[in-house]
Structure 1
Amino acid sequence: MTFTPLHRALGLSPSVLTDEILDAAVAAGVSETDDLDWKSELPPIKNISQTDVPKDIAAMANSGGGMIVYGVKESQKTATGRVDAGEFTEGHERAYRSAAVTAISPPVFGLGVHRLGIDQRAVAVVVPASVDGPHLIYKNDLFGAPIRNDADTGWMRERQVEAMYRARFDERRRASDALDSLYEEASAGRDVKERAWLVAVAHPRVPAVLGRPDRDAARSSLKRAELITLSYSNRNGIHPLENIDVHNPRPGLRRWIAVNTATGERERWKEAWAEVHHDGSVTLAAAVGGHRMSADGYFDGWQVEGRGIECCVADFAALIRAVAEGNTLDQYEVQVGIEWAGDEPLQILTVDGVGYVYDGVSTPLRQFTRVHSSINAASSDENFHREVFQLAEDAVNQGGVSNLHVMSTPPVEDV
């Protein structure tokens, strides 16, 4: 589901962008605005960074996001008809996205590309709202910050650039405060004097604005996360998503809560809770200390299996990915910590070469340092896998553990 300037101009509810919507916008003579730009031809794939593409993308990002549509004729900024924009190949798209990353500083990620039409082909590029402005483009030794001025593209003046930098820093402070607030809320009330808890929270850089998701949407995200997590992790550990009610999330304050299902006396050791907030935020809290080690034996509350941490991070990241897909979100700020308030130091356990739990390399922790990171939930599967793997590594490395055993090794990044 998406909501574009075309939806707004036609008075439509959020929906999939289709060729019929574009036809209706052209027939209605929709005019260009600060977030809509008509273009008749696709830019050339060769030297695309030297064309107006970086300027157009940066201007939209600096103006709160918008849409560039290739394959529409216009007169006096008003759509007058369709024209075949030509084939937009995978190579063309890669070059286009590359220009948004390499020719703009800071880069603009998360472009939404929609191929429309068959006989009269069009390409609609949705530029997301950004909190990293001003986005600059460079020409040799000169740089500037483009911005949309109604239907035209101009250049920011010094005071505008100053104001945008101030807004960027203010947003970062607010995002940090929001993340800390989510963490304190998710960790409140846990029995951390008896057993260690992993708490993971994520907040989108640009919160969702499409309204309150219903129970079906929340259920869909939770069930989708169950599939995503197994695309880069195995079942050799306790996955929190297997111990919460993904089928019947309950309403909370501007959120949906997936409650714990490990309620029996012999199951409470794997207690877990998850939340999907209306703004796209995600939280996960799971007991990771005192897990069962045999049919009738349990680890102590300060003993945490590295595999358990991996499972939690995998499920948490999968939930971010699923929620982001449903809300067209990209950049998330995340925070992962382990809360333990007992007398003994925290201990992260690994496994030896034959799979037995092993504590010989563990480094006792008086305090687990929360891991902070940024995750692009709209990146490719490979890039997302790498980000999740690094997050899990940062968590288990604190306890002296080097190797991951639940997550598969991500593919090597292309140089």
Structure 2
Amino acid sequence: MSFTPLHRALGLTPRPLTNEILESAIEAGVAEIDDLDWKSELPPVKNLSQTDVPKDIAAMANSGGGMIIYGVKENQKAATGRKDTGELTESHERAYRSVAITAISPPVFGLDIHQLGTETKAVAVTVPASVDGPHLIYRNDYFGAPLRNDADTVWMKERQIEAMYRARFDERRRATEALDSLFAEAAEGRDTDDRAWFVAAAHPRIPSVLLRPTRDEAREIFDRARNVTLTYSNRNGVHPLENVEYSNPRPGLRRWTAPNTATSDSANWKEAWASVHHDGSVTLATSVGGHRSGPKGDYLEGWQLEGRAVEAAIADFTALIRATATSLPHEEYEIRVGIEWSGQQPLSVLTIDNHGFTYDGASTPLRKFTPVRSTINAATSDPEFHRQVHELAQDCVNQGGLTYLHVVKALPEATD
């Protein structure tokens, strides 16, 4: 679902952007404003970085995001008609995205590019809001920070650039505080004196309006996550999402929670809780210490945890991010992943031998697990998302002295 400046100008509710919406905007004579820019021609691929494209993208990103539409004629800033842009080729789109990354600093990621129309074509480029401003463009030895001022693009003065840098640092601090608060809330009340807990939280980098998904929508997110996780992981570990009430999530404070279903005495060793918040945040907490292990059904100590249990938890956590980002939608997430343990014994992360049995000969005792912080792009391609999950799993199990992953699958081979 989309909600663009065209939707707002026409008084439409969120829905996919279509050629009909563009036609309606032109008929209504919608005028350019801060977040809407009409362009009659699509710039050529050759020397694209030397055109106004980097300036236009950076100006939109610096102004809170917006939309550039090619193939629309205007008069006195108001749309008056269409002008065919021709076919948007794959190489043209690739070059456009490349310019947003290579000709702008910091890069602008997450452009949404659509071709509209069949006979008379147009190209709509949505530039997302950014918390990394000011975005600068360079020309030879000079640089500048463009900014939208109503329908015009102007250059920031020194004080504006200073204020935007300050806003960037303030936003990073606020985002870190919000993430740490989510993490602490997910860890609250867990019996970390008796067994180690995997706790993870994710918060969208770009805050959005609370969408308040329905129970059915929340159910779909949890169900989709259960399928997504198995695209880059196997069943060699205990998956937390298989131990929560995903089909009947419970309402909470601006969130939906999938409560634990491993409640019996014989199953509570794999207790798990998952939540999807209305603002797109995600949390997961699951017991990873004291799991059942071995052919006789023995139990590990609370300070002993299998690396594959941690991997499975990471796979499910990232799958929940991916599924939530698809539904709400969001792109980049700040994440924090940790193992909470307050007992006296050092943590021991166990691997498995060639026969699949738990083996403790490779572990490095951990007095404290260092939380792993990272940024995940939840809207990237499947292979790239898999790579992010793989790196996160490695960062976590490597702390315990383990080298190899057993649940998160090997990375797919790169293709040209």
TM-score calculated relative to the size of structure 1:
0.97
How far apart in 1 are the matches of 2:141 and 2:322? Answer: 39
In structure 1, distance between residues paired with 2:158 and 2:382: 39
Task: Tell me how far 1:154 sits from its aligned partner.
Answer: 1.0
Looking at structure 2, the residues matched to 183 and 277 of structure 1 have their Cα atoms a distance apart, in angstroms, of 13
Aligned counterpart, 1:325? 326
1:238 equivalent to 2:243? Answer no
Q: How does 1:6-405 map to 2 (within 5 A)?
A: 6-209=6-209, 211-293=211-293, 294=295, 296-405=297-406
Amino acid at match of 2:288: V
SS in 1 for 2:119: coil
Q: Secondary structure at the match of 1:231?
A: helix
Is the contact between residue 305 and residue 348 of structure 2 (CA under 8 Å) also seen in structure 1?
Answer: yes
After TM superposition, give the deviation of residue 226 of structure 1 in Å.
1.4
TM-superposed CA distance for 1:172, in Å, is 0.6
Deviation at 1:211, TM superposition (A): 2.5
Q: Distance in 2 between matches of 1:106 and 1:381?
A: 24
- One-letter amino acid of the counterpart of residue 241, structure 2: L
Residues 162/332 of structure 1: CA separation in 2 closer, same or farther (3 Å cut): same
Q: Is the 8 A contact 1:208 1:327 kept in 2?
A: no
Q: Deviations over 1:214-243 (max 9, x none)?
A: 222211211111121111111111111111
Q: Distance in 1 between matches of 2:386 and 2:42?
A: 32
Offset of residue 79 of structure 1: 0.7
- Match of 1:94, SS state, is helix
Distance of 1:13 and 1:200 partners within structure 2: 34
Which 10-residue stretch deviates more, 208-217 or 66-75? 208-217
Partner letter of residue 79 of structure 1? A
What is the aligned-residue RMSD (CA, Å)?
1.3
Per-residue CA deviation, residues 223-279 of structure 1 (Å, 9 max, x unaligned), is 111121111111111111111111111111111111111111111111111111111
Task: Say which is worse superposed, 204-213 or 76-85, in terms of deviation.
Answer: 204-213
Q: Does structure 1 retain, via aligned residues, the 8 Å contact 2:243–2:271?
A: yes
Q: CA deviation at 1:17?
A: 1.0
Question: Conserved in 1, the CA contact under 8 Å of 2:211 and 2:328?
Answer: no
Query: Which amino acid counterpart does residue 83 of structure 2 have in structure 1?
Result: V
State the shift of 1:177 in Å: 0.6
C-alpha distance 50-334 of structure 1, shift in aligned 2 (>3 A): same
Secondary structure of the equivalent of 1:45? coil
Distance 1:176 1:348, change over 3 A: same
Deviation at 1:335, TM superposition (A): 0.3
Asked if the contact 2:210–2:278 (Cα under 8 Å) also holds between the matched residues in 1, the reply is: no
Tell me, in whole angstroms, the C-alpha distance in 1 between the residues paired with 2:340 and 2:4: 42
Cα-to-partner distance string for 1:284-336 (whole Å, 9 max, x where unaligned):
00111111114531111111111111111111111111111122311111000
Please state how far the C-alpha of 1:210 moved relative to its aligned partner. Answer: 5.5
Does the 8 Å contact 1:107/1:135 carry over to 2?
Answer: yes
- d(CA) in 2 for partners of 1:341 and 1:42? 60
> The residue matched to 1:257 in structure 2 has which SS?
strand
* Structure-2 separation of matches of 1:243 and 1:76: 60
Residue by residue, what CA displacement relative to the aligned partner does 1:172-209 show, whole Å, maximum 9, x if unpaired? 11011111111110000001111110000011111222
Contact 1:221 1:326 in 2 (8 A): yes
Deviation at 1:413, TM superposition (A): 6.0
**Equivalent position SS for 1:230:** helix
Distance 1:48 1:414 in 2: 26
User: 1:392: how far off?
Assistant: 0.7
CA distance in structure 1 between the aligned counterparts of 2:352 and 2:48, rounded to whole angstroms = 51
Residue pair 1:87, 1:121 contacting (<8 A) in 2 also: yes
Structure 1 letter corresponding to 2:187 = S
Kindly state the Cα deviation for residue 412 of structure 1 after the two structures are TM-superposed: 5.5
Q: 3-state DSSP class of the match of 2:374?
A: strand
Q: Partners of 1:350 and 1:217 in 2: how far apart?
A: 37
- Is the contact between residue 208 and residue 278 of structure 1 (CA under 8 Å) also seen in structure 2? no
Tell me how far apart the structure 2 counterparts of residues 40 and 196 of structure 1 sit (CA, whole Å).
60
CA distance in 2, matches of 1:295, 1:247: 32
* More deviation, 258-267/135-144: 258-267
SS of the counterpart of 1:38? Answer: strand
Give the distance between the partners of 1:16 and 1:346, measured in 2 at CA: 49
Structure 2: distance between partners of 1:58 and 1:220: 36
